[in-house]
Structure 1
Amino acid sequence: MSTNKRPQVVVLGGGTGMPVLLRGLKNYPIDLSAIVTVADDGGSSGRLRTEMAIPAPGDIRNVIAALSDAEPMLLELFQHRFKNGNGLSGHSMGNLLLAALTSMKGDFFTGIKEISRVLNVKGKIYPIANQNMYLHAEMEDGTLVSGESNIPKQEKRIKRVFLEPDPVQPLPEAVEAIKQADIVVIAPGSLYTSTLPNIIIPEISDALRNTDGKVTYVCNVMTQHGETDGYTAGDHVQAIHNHIGQGCVHSIIVHNKPIEQDMRKVYAQEQAEPVVYDNERIREMEVEVIEEDIIDHSQPMLRHDTAKIASLLYKMI
């Protein structure tokens, strides 16, 4: 890496884990890009996507909010969700703005760029694709399930996920960002419905395989009912390998402190438990294990600590 250019950092993912990483990273002297899944089909996002034939805006909206340096009031407005009233109930203001800009500009990605400018976003935001895409899963028992929000509800073991249309055309800028990156971070999140939908697109997995940058996966701290019941960290890595082959992910970041008993009880109600870190097995898969206390201990729920994880990632560069 030449000394005069800022390090290129790419974060790949969707769901709740991604904004946490981005909020911390945006304050570092880096060129930050976020590549965001658009396969969501639940709630406001799903309704807009069906009615307006646009990619799902929900995860993009949360990433814009995380990277924005706008007035707090403006961000509050952007994240506002309408409670009652027939047509608007459940919709979030940001999703509606993204839908409006897409229809004004005729293009989802251009809409994102416009709203990023208005909300003073630090970094670049790329939807993984500029078109609508649908996630499907094949379960271990052979049944097929369609729709990102339906997959965890089956409460079955997932064998693999795949996308339609096949192939999805990823945004060329997203592919290029991965190729140019000094580090690519696969964000924590729902493994099969937030993380894998991005990386199973062939051009994306090729870019991960061919980038000169390091690719690191921030592992989930808890299992997720309906997706990763009983999964160890090694099982998470194995699922990635099963979908895109070995050699795409160089390291995994795991939490190395025990989870408090009362926190376990809260999660047990959701049938979630701490992910077991079978580090030996992961090393046998030729993936480096990076252990660190990465949890925000002040939160009522288990969340990755924005500052700790950003600092760790910055050191890795």
Structure 2
Amino acid sequence: MMHHLPKVVVIGGGTGLPIILRGLRDHNVDITAIVTVADDGGSSGILRDYVNVVPPGDIRNALVALAEMPRIEKDIFQYRFRSTDQFLAGHAIGNLIISALAEMRGGIFEAVQELGMMMKIHGHIYPVANEPLTLNAAFADGRVIRGESEITAAHGQIDHVWVSDGEHHQPEAVPEVIEAIMDADQIVLGPGSLFTSILPNLMIENVGRAVCETKAEVVYICNIMTQKGETDHFTDADHVRVLNKHLGKNFVDTVLVNIQPVPNDYIDFKEWNEISQPVTHDFRTLREMGCRVISSNFLRLRDNGAFHDRDKVVEELINRLHDVHY
């Protein structure tokens, strides 16, 4: 009897996604990254506005995380022109390559598959949709704001978010995304911004439905720190409650929670100006929502910031795969 490689699907964007991908790459698993296409800030936002292409930044970082290229080639792909280079200021070379290939191939999905083969990636990278999407947020004070960067800059309490395209159609993920979710053994959400990295993927209707219907274990890696405005004073249970509310059911099976205290005097809040304070714990409510809670020291302190320890998080993900499937 042949055993297939365990299939792990990681859904997200921002800086958290490539961290988990790099850790999983060293294990004997079949990796698929499903990447948000609602980013509209920085180089990605400028290219999106002028070339009308899916924002490439999160996709670029995922490609590099799974690539088997020599270091110099990765460094070239990631190189960002200096702000004094007026014509190309702030653009990463990889963003330009992805945008060019998307134009050549008539869409981002085919472009990324081709680039993945060129870069010899370990796994699959699927943009969640083949078109740029806009993130929308309704705030507790009644405001409605469009655009991920505008929503983040508003520093307001968000009630709920949704995504839209420019044609007033219901956005849909390509079939490969849905097949990956339904065939997975484990779905990993996070770490990353709750409202602007994780939920933009899940608010595509067929993606959210697939995540609720899949037989895979859904694991949420809870953030270590709250995000200014968006998740101020949130407990770990509050994060999961927001996810469940958006999809209309308790779909998160397991939550990874850091319980190592973050030293008060270590964090540079000027440097890391989007974070507020450590996420507090409410294990009782998590269990009432049907979650298995895995609490441990997942903390890595570096550069006066608080991050997840990649190796410890990935070790737990691999442990869960073995516990559930063997």
Q: Which TM-score applies when normalising by structure 1?
A: 0.96
SS class of match (1:228): coil
What code does the residue aligned with 1:278 have?
D
CA offsets 1:76-111 (integer angstroms, 9 cap, x no match): 011110013222101110100000111111121111
What code does the residue aligned with 1:112 have?
V
Q: How does 1:140-155 map to 2 (within 5 A)?
A: 140-155=140-155
Pair 1:312 & 2:311 matched? no
Shift of 1:206: 1.1
CA contact (8 A) 2:268 2:305 kept: no
Pair 1:200 & 2:208 matched? no
Which structure 1 segments of 5+ residues have no match?
none
Greater strand content: 2
CA contact (8 A) 1:45 1:95 kept: yes
Q: How does 1:43-58 map to 2 (within 5 A)?
A: 43-58=42-57
Q: How does 1:25-174 map to 2 (within 5 A)?
A: 25-83=24-82, 84-165=84-165, 166-174=169-177
CA contact (8 A) 1:13 1:37 kept: yes
Give the length in aligned residue pairs: 316
Pair 1:292 & 2:260 matched? no
Pair 1:253 & 2:256 matched? yes
State the distance in 2 between where 1:29 and 1:293 align: 24
Q: Partner of 1:215 in structure 2?
A: 218
Q: Partner of 2:234 in structure 1?
A: 231
SS class of match (2:242): helix
State the distance in 2 between where 1:167 and 1:192 align: 19
Shift of 1:55: 1.0
State the distance in 1 between where 2:185 and 2:203 align: 21
State the distance in 2 between where 1:229 and 1:111 align: 38
Mean Cα displacement is larger for which, 164-173 or 266-275? 266-275
Which residue of the other structure, out of 222, 243, 246, is the alignment partner of 2:246? 243
CA contact (8 A) 1:267 1:273 kept: no
Shift of 1:269: 7.3
Shift of 1:310: 1.2
CA contact (8 A) 1:170 1:201 kept: yes
In structure 2, relative to structure 1, the CA distance for the partners of 1:3 and 1:303 (3 Å cut) is farther
What code does the residue aligned with 1:232 have?
T
Shift of 1:265: 5.7
What code does the residue aligned with 2:276 have?
A
Q: Partner of 2:324 in structure 1?
A: none
Q: Which TM-score applies when normalising by structure 2?
A: 0.93
SS class of match (2:293): strand
What code does the residue aligned with 1:52 have?
V
Shift of 1:263: 2.4
Which structure 2 segments of 5+ residues have no match?
322-326
State the distance in 1 between where 2:117 and 2:229 align: 38
CA contact (8 A) 1:10 1:183 kept: yes
CA contact (8 A) 1:151 1:226 kept: no
What code does the residue aligned with 1:208 have?
V
What is the percentage of aligned positions where both structures have the same residue? 39
What code does the residue aligned with 2:142 have?
G
Mean Cα displacement is larger for which, 173-182 or 77-86? 77-86
State the distance in 1 between where 2:303 and 2:218 align: 28
Shift of 1:301: 2.1
Which protein has greater RCO, CA pairs closer than 8 Å, 6+ apart? 1
What code does the residue aligned with 1:5 have?
H
CA offsets 1:226-284 (integer angstroms, 9 cap, x no match): 21111111111111111112232111110021112222464797351000011111111
CA offsets 1:208-234 (integer angstroms, 9 cap, x no match): 111111001000000011211111111
Q: Partner of 1:23 in structure 2?
A: 22
State the distance in 1 between where 2:306 and 2:46 align: 29
